[in-house]
């Protein structure tokens, strides 16, 4: 077996999930990563991180000639078609999810998700002979096969996991196999449960599919993006929805850990946590699409768990608000294509990064602009954060990229410190020490954060190198000259851009080895180009980036500059958030011109949301006059009696 057959390219995978846990399915029909109950749990299958001993759940038809796949339209249900020498097999993969019986009409965040994985196999022509291989693993990333017991119609695992299946089953050294022969029109459904149900879930397979299909298609109806990129924006929104943890509203950066930033390298991190830095990006992208409930839930998560930290705010939290994410290496795992170490936890949570305070206050400003009210405690804590930044903005930090070197004075971090105080003034009124420090920060950025004649911004004080994070500064509303911003963008391109890809930075960062180009920095360039008056170039770059998605419309964190192969954890929330943001700003420019792009995220969001209010009013007028009607929301309610209470959010 070749290396590619043992561990397929990262871009070869598609994501399924239920807003609690997730699984990655390869184009060959193998589930090589699966955390069915919650994103940060130990996986049942992790062949993605250890090809020989990590376990997997595969569907293997004999005599495969051709494979094609795609998500069923407007859903997160995956369909894979195998053309074989004897017939055609359709494989449908999904994790059941629906709304609870108590959910209100427009509530798509209060969910019922039993934590099951469903695989429906249907022969659509001829006949198909196939083998299902089921090789689960236990907790703590154990590479030892679980003890299995064959029973009539199911395979029981020692950890309580059960595979409900029909066929000719037998135990093997690494797990179990089931031989299945299907004739034209025949269907067989396999269901993996992690919590013992009171009934055979296969008896409900049609219901599970119908409810899940209805849930996703109904949810898609709430998107208010109107523009030429509707399909790709909606796919990014669906991916982002999959990365939300319904019980708390947190959004994970990615559902995986330790997928490498370079094959064979050491830059392998755990991304199954929620970054505060995503706050403004998530609220902006969700809100402009019309997903106010998801935006509100994420805001509730920040208020409940993160904002309470005040001046001790961390850069990331667990999906249940846990602040301490101890990092350790799993030396017994070989890693993705021998990329070691495999890490769980993330010690970057302990870093000091000045920019997060600005992101928090920018999020609050955006939230207020969209109509939310900050309570007294939130207001007091944010005022305390602004006071804290006044006292600490002159202290060096580790920067937005979580460098593991000595702290520095990063220019982008200082810009975000300015944002902290500017948004505090916008929200809570002018205070002399806020205004004075805001002005001092701006002047110091100009004096120490620039180089060249004529000048442009640089990565850090005294440096001559560039940083893609500087591409954010034109969007922050700082009173910097347009010429300075234009020169800065051009210098980022000159030093860091190659065609449509933009490196984060170049130079030492305290880590060994190289990394790929980050997708998010290229989308940042799209937005920066728009802001500095290069709209046609921005549109062309956006089109190029769309061609970088995999065959089902998903993006990883990074991409190999030479081969185009995906690198880093997958799929990446930040990348999809940025795609949505870039598409929205391009449409705002098209609808209202360059002037509509000026100001802050809050200013732009209110213009985008305002542009769709007339359309919404028309729709609801037609509904009232019975010209049109919405689909029945009751189709998306999932009732499973005793298991209803598991994992609701």
Cross-strand pairs, 319: none
Which fold would CATH assign to domain 12-219?
Beta-galactosidase; Chain A, domain 5 (2.70.98)
Got the DSSP string for 182-245?
EETT-EEEEEEESS--SS-GGGGHHHHHHHHHHHHHHHHTT----STTHHHHHHHHHHHHHTEE
Are 243 and 574 a contacting pair, CB within 8 Å?
no
Q: What is the CATH number of domain 222-617?
A: 1.50.10.10
- The torsion angles phi and psi of 572, rounded to 5 degrees, stand at -100, 120
Supply the pTM of this predicted model.
0.95
Percent of all residues in the chain with a pLDDT value above 90, rounded to a whole number: 83
DSSP class of residue 305 equals I
Q: What is the mean pLDDT of residues 522-540?
A: 98
3-class DSSP state of 401 = coil
Are 278 and 573 a contacting pair, CB within 8 Å?
yes
Are 223 and 241 a contacting pair, CB within 8 Å?
no
Are 489 and 529 a contacting pair, CB within 8 Å?
yes
DSSP class of residue 627 equals S
Q: From CA 281, how far away is CA 250, in angstroms rounded? A: 13
The predicted pLDDT at position 641 comes to 57
Got the DSSP string for 551-594?
TTS---SEE-TTT--EESSSS-HHHHHHHHHHHHHHHHHHHH-G
Give the number of other CB atoms < 10 A from CB of residue 426: 18
Q: How far apart are the first and last CA of the chain?
A: 43
Categorize the per-residue pLDDT at 309 as very low, low, confident or very high, splitting at 50, 70 and 90. low
Q: From CA 242, how far away is CA 647, in angstroms rounded? A: 14
The predicted pLDDT at position 620 comes to 42
Are 451 and 435 a contacting pair, CB within 8 Å?
no
Q: From CA 126, how far away is CA 82, in angstroms rounded? A: 12
Structural Rg of the chain based on CA atoms: 25
Reported as a single tens digit per residue, the pLDDT across 4-31 is 557 899 999 999 999 999 999 999 999 9
Are 228 and 3 a contacting pair, CB within 8 Å?
no
Average pLDDT, the chain: 92
Q: From CA 629, how far away is CA 627, in angstroms rounded? A: 7
Q: Does residue 439 carry a pLDDT above 60? A: yes
Task: Identify which of 125, 95, 120, 134 has the alpha carbon closest to the alpha carbon of residue 187.
Answer: 120
Structure token digits, residue 152:
């009539």
Task: Identify which of 416, 398, 419, 418 has the alpha carbon closest to the alpha carbon of residue 407.
Answer: 398
Are 156 and 80 a contacting pair, CB within 8 Å?
no
Reported as a single tens digit per residue, the pLDDT across 455-487 is 999 999 999 999 999 999 999 999 999 999 999
Q: What is the mean pLDDT of residues 159-180?
A: 96
Are 97 and 19 a contacting pair, CB within 8 Å?
yes
- The torsion angles phi and psi of 53, rounded to 5 degrees, stand at -125, 5
The predicted pLDDT at position 507 comes to 85
Give the number of other CB atoms < 10 A from CB of residue 373: 8
Going from N- to C-terminal start, the domains of the chain cover 12-219, 222-617
The predicted pLDDT at position 313 comes to 86
Q: Does residue 622 carry a pLDDT above 60? A: no
The predicted pLDDT at position 610 comes to 80
Q: From CA 269, how far away is CA 277, in angstroms rounded? A: 17
Reported as a single tens digit per residue, the pLDDT across 358-379 is 999 999 999 999 998 888 988 9
């Amino acid at each position: 077996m070749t290396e590619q057959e043992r561990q397929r390219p990262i871009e070869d995978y598609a994501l399924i999930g239920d807003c609690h846990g997730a699984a990655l399915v390869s184009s060959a029909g193998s589930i090589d990563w699966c955390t069915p109950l919650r994103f940060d749990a130990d996986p049942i299958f992790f062949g993605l991180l250890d090809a020989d001993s990590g376990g997997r759940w595969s569907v293997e038809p004999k005599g495969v000639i051709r494979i094609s796949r795609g998500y069923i339209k407007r859903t997160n249900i995956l369909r894979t078609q195998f053309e074989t020498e004897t017939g055609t097999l359709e494989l449908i993969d999904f994790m059941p999810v629906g709304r609870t019986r108590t959910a209100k009409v427009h509530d798509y965040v209060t969910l019922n998700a039993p934590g099951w994985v469903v695989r429906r196999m249907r022969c659509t022509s001829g006949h198909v002979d196939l083998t299902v291989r089921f090789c689960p693993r236990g907790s703590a990333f154990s590479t030892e096969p679980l003890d299995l017991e064959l029973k009539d119609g199911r395979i029981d695992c020692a950890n309580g996991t059960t595979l409900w299946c029909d066929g000719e089953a037998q135990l093997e050294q690494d797990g179990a196999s089931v031989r299945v022969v299907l004739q034209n029109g025949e269907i067989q459904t396999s269901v993996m449960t992690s919590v013992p149900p009171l009934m055979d879930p296969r008896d409900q397979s049609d219901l599970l599919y119908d409810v899940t299909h209805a849930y996703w298609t109904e949810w898609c109806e709430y998107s208010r993006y109107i523009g030429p990129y509707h399909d790709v924006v909606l796919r990014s929104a669906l991916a982002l929805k999959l990365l939300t943890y319904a019980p708390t509203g947190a959004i994970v950066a990615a559902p995986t850990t330790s997928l490498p930033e370079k094959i064979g390298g050491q830059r392998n991190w755990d991304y199954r946590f929620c970054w505060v830095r995503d706050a403004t990006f998530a609220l902006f992208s969700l809100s402009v699409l019309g997903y106010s409930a998801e935006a509100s839930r994420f805001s509730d998560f920040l208020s409940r768990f993160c904002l309470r930290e005040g001046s001790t705010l961390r850069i990331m939290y667990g999906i249940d608000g846990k602040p301490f994410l101890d990092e350790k290496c799993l030396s017994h795992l070989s890693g993705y294509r021998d990329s070691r170490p495999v890490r769980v936890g993330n010690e970057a949570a302990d870093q000091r990064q000045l920019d997060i305070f600005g992101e928090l206050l920018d999020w609050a400003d955006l939230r207020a602009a969209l109509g939310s009210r900050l309570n007294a405690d939130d207001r007091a804590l944010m005022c305390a954060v602004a006071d804290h930044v006044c006292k600490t903005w002159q202290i060096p930090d580790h920067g937005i990229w979580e460098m593991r070197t000595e702290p520095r004075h990063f220019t982008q971090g200082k810009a975000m410190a300015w944002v902290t105080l500017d948004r505090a003034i916008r929200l809570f009124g002018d205070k002399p020490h806020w205004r004075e420090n805001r002005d001092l920060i701006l002047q110091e950025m100009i004096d120490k954060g620039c180089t060249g004649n004529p000048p442009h911004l640089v990565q850090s004080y005294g440096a001559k190198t560039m940083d893609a994070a500087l591409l954010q500064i034109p969007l922050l509303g700082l009173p910097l000259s347009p010429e300075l911003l234009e020169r800065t963008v051009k210098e980022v391109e000159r030093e860091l851009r190659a065609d449509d890809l933009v490196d984060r930075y170049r130079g030492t960062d305290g880590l060994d080895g190289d990394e790929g180009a980050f997708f998010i920095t290229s989308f940042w360039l799209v937005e920066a180009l728009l802001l500095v008056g290069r709209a046609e170039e921005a549109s062309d770059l956006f089109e190029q980036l769309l061609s970088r998605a995999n065959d089902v419309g998903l993006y990883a964190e990074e991409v190999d500059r030479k081969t185009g192969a995906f690198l880093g954890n997958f799929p990446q929330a930040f990348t999809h958030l940025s795609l949505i943001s870039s598409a929205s700003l391009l449409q705002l420019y098209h609808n209202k011109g360059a002037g509509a792009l000026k100001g802050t995220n809050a200013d732009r969001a209110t213009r985008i949301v305002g542009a769709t209010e007339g359309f919404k009013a028309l729709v609801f007028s037609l509904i009232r006059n019975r010209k049109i009607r919405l689909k029945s929301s009751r189709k998306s309610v999932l009732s499973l009696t005793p298991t209803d209470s598991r994992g609701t959010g």
